Structure 1
Amino acid sequence: SQLYFNLFVNLAGQKREERVRLRIDKESYFEIYKEKEEM
């Protein structure tokens, strides 16, 4: 059961990293969008 626990922890960690990456991508997208509007 230790193996399954490790797999679960790894999947949870990957999902968390993806969420953070998506949030960062959204923020950078809005920054690029604002820069284009100013031009």
Structure 2
Amino acid sequence: MAFCNFVLALCAFDLLCMITMAIHALVYLVMEEICSY
């Protein structure tokens, strides 16, 4: 049971990381667009 919780926590953290990375990439692209003008 503890192992399952650990795996779930790991997956949730990984998902959080992916979301964070996606947001950072989006912000970077938007800033690049704004700065290019």
Percent identity of the aligned residues?
18
Moved over 3 A (4+): none
Larger radius of gyration: 1
Unaligned runs of 5+ in 1: 1-5
- Give RMSD over aligned pairs: 0.6
Output the TM-score relative to the length of structure 2.
0.83
Unaligned runs of 5+ in 2: none
Q: What is the count of residue pairs matched by the alignment?
A: 34
